[in-house]
Amino acid sequence: MPRSQLAIIGALLVAIVLAIVWRAHQQSSAPEEPHSPPATSPSAAASTQITATEALPEPTPAPELSAVLPDGRKVPELPADAPKAVSFAVVLVAYRGAEGAPHDARDKASALAKAKELLPDARRDFGEAVKKGDPGSTAQAGRMPRDVLEPGLEYVLFTLKKGEVYGEPIDTPRGYWILKRVE
């Protein structure tokens, strides 16, 4: 396949991934529509509202954008020889409160345990780990330019060697990522 076709396909893949992330972000930040109570007596309506309010779980705040590396150190400047864009793959393990996660997603501790369980699989056969990950996992996410991802995540991705899988799951606003630099 000619290089120009590969470049166009890669650009389309990146555009699709960015559109999905943007849409998930828009959906997670959209205000909820107020629900009107059923037409009943004032005391019954108050009782219904209290019961409904008590039944709602507390929302889990989305993870903050990180200015630190997964190990807690401050994100250093990217090395001068770091690429301007890289191709990458990701195994996603979502949890409640993460962007785009379903309302019935696992809790954060369970997600971390699952991500740690998938890490050895990812080192052996990334494609197999992708199959075991949550929707959004992919063996080819396309090319990612600099200055798109959170600083800590970007530093990790742009300092990995080609073909390398990062040594631990990374907490992102979208859930835990097992990250591999493809190119």
Q: Which domains does the chain have, with CATH numbers?
A: 1-30+65-183 (3.10.50.40)
Q: Which residues contact 37 (CB under 8 A, 6 or more apart)?
A: 45, 48, 49
The Cα–Cα gap between 141 and 139 comes to: 7
**Does position 166 have pLDDT exceeding 80, yes or no?**
yes
Q: Which residues contact 66 (CB under 8 A, 6 or more apart)?
A: 75, 150, 151, 152, 153, 171
The Cα–Cα gap between 50 and 146 comes to: 48
pLDDT at residue 149 in the model: 87
Q: How confident is the model at residue 5 (pLDDT cuts 50, 70, 90)?
A: low
Q: Which residues contact 170 (CB under 8 A, 6 or more apart)?
A: 70, 152, 153, 156, 176, 177, 178, 179
Share of the chain above pLDDT 70, in %: 63
Q: Which residue has the higher pLDDT, 159 or 23?
A: 159
Q: What is the pTM of this model?
A: 0.62
Over residues 118-136, the mean pLDDT reads 95
